[in-house]
Structure 1
Amino acid sequence: MKRIAFVVAAPATAEIFLRGHIAALGERYQVDLIANLHQHYPLSVSANKIIHAPIHRSINVWLDFMALLALIRIFSKNRYDAVHSVTPKAGLLTMIAAWVTRVPVRNHTFTGQVWVTRAGLPRNLLRSLDKLVYSISTHSLVDSHSQRDFLLTEKVIQRKKSSVLANGSISGVNVDRFKPDSGMRKIIRDKYGVSDNDLVFLFLGRINPDKGVPELISAFRRVSKVYTEAKLLIVGEDESGMFDDGSIEDSFMGKLIRVGCTSEPEAYFNAADVFCLPSHREGFGSVLIEAAACGVASIASNIYGISDALVDNRTGLLHSVKCEEDLIAKMIVLVSNPRLRKQLANAAMLRARGEFSSSVLEQELVAFYEKVFLDGEFTSFYR
């Protein structure tokens, strides 16, 4: 039986995005998961083996070198037929270690580029590392068609040995989990003192400047002064520390509700009326199709990746990236026009459930590996 290893830095990446893929591939192959288990994230992934490797997301030359040695030892011992990395740091270390140990199939999934928002030497250096990852992989998957077009334009990848599965995203959306649920809506809104008449804007994800959270907070401050029924719910890990002292919440007098990490994002999507993702960079924007599957319209920045997940004026509204004025304008449109909000939400739900079901992505990845192991060709996957 063929052996595949998926490699990620954070266990949460596997739990959120790879659980279905590993289960589907596990019916045909032995599939191991390699991750930094010291993060103590509870895992329900049905892997053959779960192996620790000290891969850290932040750059540290010594720690990264030690992680590389650990991966080389793991690959040498287990003799995998294929390794598959997800996220930038894991991709770089995994592809180097797999190339050194001569793993025959070396696949990486591009999920967005850190260097897009950088300039000068940092941008060029990080871009060159992505080029290296591609050059020593045997194939690269990209989680959106617009991101692949961008990478082709930037000459990071080539059409040969790069592709997108189905309509994009890493794993699609679990439509049995992410669906409209009035019970969940009531529980969350009651918990945080939100009335039926309040209109809730939601941000859910990692909280940092690249996600556009500062401009969302600033935009909401102005919107909430005009529309007193508006509230902003921000859910996720505060990587930036902007909420550490509580001063932001205090300044909103109860209109801004702050929640930490959650294992039930579907509950918060259901509690919301509009989802907001004013991100500066995204590979795809999976939260947009999760919100859509729950019957929630979205406002998001008009950048590659997001433009695959949201169709402007059909399933949501796109605003100019980093433009607070345009973000405010789109928020006002959806506060003041409930009919449009409902129309967008219904269309978003139908599209998410019809075009981005997780079962479709899982079937495509299984077919991808069947093709790889059968004859090593990728022709049927070219887009």
Structure 2
Amino acid sequence: MSLDWLLGRQLEAFAAAGFEVIGVSAPGLHVEALAARGIAHVPVSSFTRALAPHRDLAAGPELVSVFRRLRPDIVHTHNPKPGILGRPAARWAGVPHVVNTVHGLYALPGDSRRRRAVVYGLERAAARFSDVELLQNVEDLAVMRRLGVDDERLVVLGNGIDLTRFDPKRVDPRRREALRRQWGAEPGTVVVGVVGRLVWEKGYREVFEMARRLGPRARVVVVGPAEPDKRGAVDTASMEAAAADGVVFCGERHDMVDVHAAFDVFVLASHREGYPRAAMEASALARPVVATDIRGCRQVVVDGETGRLVPVGDVAALTAAVADLVDDPRRRQEWGRAARRRAEAEFDERRVIAITLGVYERLLASAPRRAATTAA
């Protein structure tokens, strides 16, 4: 899923730059989408998205075998789990260069000491096998420094989206209105949108309670796949209760330009993020964003200018911030325009691609090429 959704355009750009690109991941429905992009794929049968210790132990040797067979010049991993397993596997397979992208460290100051020790310990150990660590925000940069990773191996990459696709000028008003009718939003109703996997750490407890408190003042719409195999998945009973309070669940969608355009306000109540793509997409389409005051979200939202930042888990603050925007169309427009300007200045995916290609070329300049560049 991540190779297509999160990395698809980057993989296409790497191929266009002359690299042979091979995706290595768990088998799944998104393999066909990768093929449509012209990206080869090698499945790792023991790989799973969910935490599965016994299968994870088998995935390491399988990755080593895959990398030995492919003989890539570079293995580029993406955390959490592929980065933990992929970095040492690449080195043990004799891969000359290993790059890892940190999509947010999966531990926060409020987490238990045990969780933080495990997460940071695994990252410290895996980082010993990489040449370069690409980071999405400066707060993770500070953490990696504390974990003992040398500055010359750390690069702040940021994150980006396709601003030519997520452009207000490309919005079709007819599709926007059709979606709003599909969601049961009457003319004049404010639509509050949420995009994210249906796991509790995305803040759905707060979102569901916010929807209950807002009542008929707004239509709350949730877009994202259910992930019943993931730890902390939102259960069916909770979704049914939220639906009874008026929340609309749309499942997984791919027409995200139309989806964001049909929202009036975007909400991200997540407990942990790297550099949230959905919030960047909403900003690029000139939608104000209400998000939690955590790393990653702070890089997207300027409080009081493009949206609001609220404390994690604070339902009252979340509801109040959203209600203020529901009741103030002028502010929604002003903050939305400011969000688009910020997106144009900060969220261009072409910059991320250029930095990554620069890292690849620098590494390859120190050793002759072998066969392929592999993204794991």
Q: Same fold (TM over 0.5)?
A: yes
Of 4, 20, 27, the match for 1:30: 20
| Matching of residue 329 in structure 1 with residue 320 in structure 2 | yes
What is the match of residue 6 of structure 1? Answer: none
* 1:159 to partner: Cα distance: 2.1
Alpha-carbon contact 1:299-1:330 (below 8 Å) kept = yes
What is the match of residue 16 of structure 1? Answer: 5
Counterpart-to-counterpart distance in 2, 1:334 and 1:38: 39
Counterpart-to-counterpart distance in 2, 1:160 and 1:256: 48
Gaps (5+ residues) in structure 2? 228-232, 368-376
Paired residue type of 1:14: L
Alpha-carbon contact 2:34-2:40 (below 8 Å) kept = no
* 1:41 to partner: Cα distance: 5.0
Provide, for residues 332-373 of structure 1, a one-character-per-residue CA deviation record: whole Å limited to 9, x for no partner.
Answer: 221122111111100111211332122222222222212221
| Matching of residue 51 in structure 1 with residue 42 in structure 2 | yes
Of 73, 76, 79, the match for 2:65: 73
Between the aligned residues of both structures, percent identity stands at 25
What is the match of residue 274 of structure 1? Answer: 265
| Matching of residue 230 in structure 1 with residue 240 in structure 2 | no
| Matching of residue 199 in structure 1 with residue 190 in structure 2 | yes
* 1:21 to partner: Cα distance: 1.6
What is the match of residue 109 of structure 1? Answer: 101
Counterpart-to-counterpart distance in 2, 1:134 and 1:250: 43
What is the match of residue 136 of structure 2? Answer: 143
| Matching of residue 361 in structure 1 with residue 352 in structure 2 | yes
* 1:47 to partner: Cα distance: 4.9
- From the superposition, tell whether residues 77 and 203 of structure 1 become closer, same or farther in structure 2 (CA, over 3 Å): same
Counterpart-to-counterpart distance in 2, 1:115 and 1:229: 36
Provide, for residues 174-217 of structure 1, a one-character-per-residue CA deviation record: whole Å limited to 9, x for no partner.
Answer: 12322221233112112222123000111111122211111111
Give the secondary-structure state (helix, strand or coil) at the position aligned to 2:13. helix
What is the match of residue 3 of structure 1? Answer: none
Alpha-carbon contact 1:212-1:279 (below 8 Å) kept = yes
Counterpart-to-counterpart distance in 2, 1:246 and 1:277: 17
Provide, for residues 277-319 of structure 1, a one-character-per-residue CA deviation record: whole Å limited to 9, x for no partner.
Answer: 0111101111111011112110000011111111111111101
Counterpart-to-counterpart distance in 1, 2:212 and 2:178: 26
* 1:49 to partner: Cα distance: 2.5
Alpha-carbon contact 1:201-1:274 (below 8 Å) kept = yes
What is the match of residue 217 of structure 1? Answer: 208
- TM-score calculated relative to the size of structure 2: 0.89
Counterpart-to-counterpart distance in 2, 1:257 and 1:29: 43
| Matching of residue 184 in structure 1 with residue 172 in structure 2 | no
Give the secondary-structure state (helix, strand or coil) at the position aligned to 1:175. coil
Of 335, 339, 342, the match for 2:333: 342
Alpha-carbon contact 2:3-2:34 (below 8 Å) kept = no
- From the superposition, tell whether residues 317 and 368 of structure 1 become closer, same or farther in structure 2 (CA, over 3 Å): same
Provide, for residues 33-71 of structure 1, a one-character-per-residue CA deviation record: whole Å limited to 9, x for no partner.
Answer: 111124555423545531111311223232112211111
Alpha-carbon contact 2:4-2:30 (below 8 Å) kept = no
Gaps (5+ residues) in structure 1? 1-11, 377-383
Alpha-carbon contact 2:100-2:134 (below 8 Å) kept = yes
Give the secondary-structure state (helix, strand or coil) at the position aligned to 1:300. strand
Paired residue type of 1:358: E
Counterpart-to-counterpart distance in 1, 2:343 and 2:271: 23
Alpha-carbon contact 1:299-1:318 (below 8 Å) kept = yes
Counterpart-to-counterpart distance in 2, 1:246 and 1:57: 22
Counterpart-to-counterpart distance in 2, 1:29 and 1:118: 40
- TM-score calculated relative to the size of structure 1: 0.87
Give the secondary-structure state (helix, strand or coil) at the position aligned to 1:108. strand
Give the secondary-structure state (helix, strand or coil) at the position aligned to 2:152. coil
Give the aligned CA root-mean-square deviation in angstroms.
2.0
Alpha-carbon contact 1:211-1:277 (below 8 Å) kept = yes
Paired residue type of 1:95: R
Alpha-carbon contact 1:31-1:47 (below 8 Å) kept = no
Give the secondary-structure state (helix, strand or coil) at the position aligned to 2:291. strand
Alpha-carbon contact 1:184-1:270 (below 8 Å) kept = no
Give the secondary-structure state (helix, strand or coil) at the position aligned to 2:151. coil
Paired residue type of 1:179: D
Q: Which runs of 4+ in 1 moved over 6 A?
A: none
* 1:105 to partner: Cα distance: 0.6
| Matching of residue 120 in structure 1 with residue 110 in structure 2 | no
Provide, for residues 137-163 of structure 1, a one-character-per-residue CA deviation record: whole Å limited to 9, x for no partner.
Answer: 1111012223323443x4264423011
What is the match of residue 98 of structure 1? Answer: 90
What is the match of residue 299 of structure 2? Answer: 308
Give the secondary-structure state (helix, strand or coil) at the position aligned to 2:309. strand
Provide, for residues 63-120 of structure 1, a one-character-per-residue CA deviation record: whole Å limited to 9, x for no partner.
Answer: 1122111111111112111100112110111111111122111111000222326313
- From the superposition, tell whether residues 250 and 80 of structure 1 become closer, same or farther in structure 2 (CA, over 3 Å): closer
Counterpart-to-counterpart distance in 1, 2:140 and 2:352: 17
Of 290, 295, 300, the match for 1:299: 290
